[in-house]
Amino acid sequence: MPWYKKLHWQIIIGLVLGLLFGIVAAVNGWSGFTSDWIAPWGTIFINLLKLIAVPLILASLITGVASLSDLSKLSRIGGKTIAIYLGTTLLALTIGLTVVNVMQPGKTVPPDMRDRLQQAYEGDVAARTQAAQAARERGPLQPIVDMVPDNFFSAAADNGNMLQVVFVAILFGIGLLMIPPEKARPVQAFFDGFNVLIIRVVELIMLVAPVGVFALMADTITSIARGGLGEILELLAALGYYCIAVLLGLFIHMLVVYPSLLKLFVRMPLRTFFTGIAPAQLVAFSTSSSGATLPVTMECAEKNLGVSEEVSSFVLPLGATINMDGTALYQAVAAVFIAQALGLGLDLAAQLTIVFTALLASIGTAGVPGAGIVMLVIILESVGVPSAGIALILGVDRILDMVRTVTNVTGDATVATIVAATENQLGRPAEGGVPAAPAVVRDALADASGS
């Protein structure tokens, strides 16, 4: 197949053209034209992906859990998955804190720029603080209560309730394992067929991905540049060092931590992994939403990486809702950056509080654009930094959101590949075979997850 016919190249072309168009549109003042005639195609693309997310999670998790054949296998895979998710998030937080403490980007913001930013974003800060306030006023067990819906249809009717859908699907999957096989079979057959149908629909949606990505990029660039290109350049000059710190942390995590883990547990050629997951990374970059990217992540993991359906349909929907390494890393850098810029020192205890709250906050962050900055307010308040400080970073948040979402999605795919390999469920991807994890590693993981 010629290279330009490969999906990830088509998406890259869409992305670059969208970027160029966005810059030309911003320079020539075509933002009206862009929002009237270009942006809607991006919205349609995201809507299509979101449309498929709830049925996909439901069908794939029910069949995923039910096909695990017994509850001990479910608890082994579940325990292992959650342990690796938490471990990678802790590593991300450590990298974030190291980078920000070494680079000290907060010390480079000129005081007059700091005051101007705080004034400019006063209104936005109020909205974000209010959202965070609502989240904080809930009792300590509220996040668990929130996971359990009282009505299935209202849970499924709101894309922000993915965790509730995950809960219902796992519950029904467990139920299916416990009823007589002759009763379970037709239900399972239905969801199996439904799964195949959804995968086909995802493939159809991906046909328009290059156009969708073009439109999303064009719209993002023109709306970032609404205040004029000069303003962006000024902002980048003041906050460039902070952006570099976040990006450096994210790239270290993506290019050092994940590849090392893959080498250790999977021995998959890294090229196979990164080219296989590229379409999902590109969609994550242009949508800034790991929830919307989930259908593409699953398709890439199964088709290109060889992850079994049983593993991918359990590990990935869970990851898209609770595993956000990029978000956690960004939150750690941003919190310390704001403290530095406001001249507030954070001692070791405060930094450990950041690790703990960011770990929980990243689990509670929804996979939608900009969710990470709302949770940042809670982290700031936990260490006594005024939440109004987020005004400093709001202007460049969208750019960082794009890259942290790529990290979130790459993390989910890495963990799915590791779990599949250690369960002997990593088949042959599109190009080249992938050896499973060495037996010794498999046994160590099985012990660690208590089975």
Tell whether residue 88 is a contact of ligand ASP (CB under 6 A): no
User: Closer to ligand ASP at the Cβ: 338 or 371?
Assistant: 371
Least Cβ distance, residue 378 to ligand ASP (angstroms): 13
Least Cβ distance, residue 374 to ligand ASP (angstroms): 8
Tell whether residue 445 is a contact of ligand ASP (CB under 6 A): no
Least Cβ distance, residue 372 to ligand ASP (angstroms): 3
Q: 426 by DSSP, 3-state: which? A: strand
CA distances from 432 to 5, 167, 268, 394 (A): 20, 36, 10, 44
**Residue 338 CB partners (closer than 8 Å, separation 6+):** 106, 380, 385, 389, 390, 392, 393
Choose the stretch contacting ligand ASP; rule: CB under 6 A; options: 7-15, 47-55, 302-310, 399-407: 399-407
Tell whether residue 401 is a contact of ligand ASP (CB under 6 A): yes
**Rounded to an integer, what distance in angstroms lies between the CA atom of residue 344 and that of residue 26?**
37
Q: Indicate which single residue of 34, 297, 365, 422 sits in contact with ligand ASP (rule: CB under 6 A).
A: 365
Interhelix angle 209-224/7-28, rounded to 10 degrees, is 30
- Among 76, 57, 74, 77, smallest CA distance to 66 is for 74
Tell whether residue 404 is a contact of ligand ASP (CB under 6 A): yes
User: Closer to ligand ASP at the Cβ: 74 or 371?
Assistant: 371
Choose the stretch contacting ligand ASP; rule: CB under 6 A; options: 56-64, 337-345, 397-405, 419-427: 397-405
Least Cβ distance, residue 331 to ligand ASP (angstroms): 8
Tell whether residue 76 is a contact of ligand ASP (CB under 6 A): no
Beta bridge partners of 426: 307
**Rounded to an integer, what distance in angstroms lies between the CA atom of residue 78 and that of residue 98?**
30
Q: Indicate which single residue of 42, 64, 306, 372 sits in contact with ligand ASP (rule: CB under 6 A).
A: 372
User: Closer to ligand ASP at the Cβ: 268 or 377?
Assistant: 377
Tell whether residue 299 is a contact of ligand ASP (CB under 6 A): no
Tell whether residue 421 is a contact of ligand ASP (CB under 6 A): no
300-359 residues near ligand ASP, rule: CB under 6 A: 324, 327
Least Cβ distance, residue 371 to ligand ASP (angstroms): 4
Q: Indicate which single residue of 288, 387, 410, 449 sits in contact with ligand ASP (rule: CB under 6 A).
A: 288
Least Cβ distance, residue 159 to ligand ASP (angstroms): 11
Q: Indicate which single residue of 295, 367, 389, 395 sits in contact with ligand ASP (rule: CB under 6 A).
A: 367
Q: 387 is written with which tokens?
A: 């939440």
Interhelix angle 39-66/270-287, rounded to 10 degrees, is 130
**Rounded to an integer, what distance in angstroms lies between the CA atom of residue 356 and that of residue 93?**
9
**Rounded to an integer, what distance in angstroms lies between the CA atom of residue 322 and that of residue 82?**
9
Least Cβ distance, residue 289 to ligand ASP (angstroms): 4
DSSP codes joined into one string, 152-212 = HHHHHT-GGGHHHHHHHHHHHHHHHHHS-HHHHHHHHHHHHHHHHHHHHHHHHHHHTHHHH
Residue pair 415/303 in contact (Cβ under 8 Å)? The answer is no
Q: Indicate which single residue of 175, 370, 427, 438 sits in contact with ligand ASP (rule: CB under 6 A).
A: 370
Nearest 10 degrees: Cα torsion 361, 365, 370, 376: -10
Residues that bind ligand ASP (CB under 6 A): 288-290, 324, 327, 365, 367-372, 401, 404-405, 408
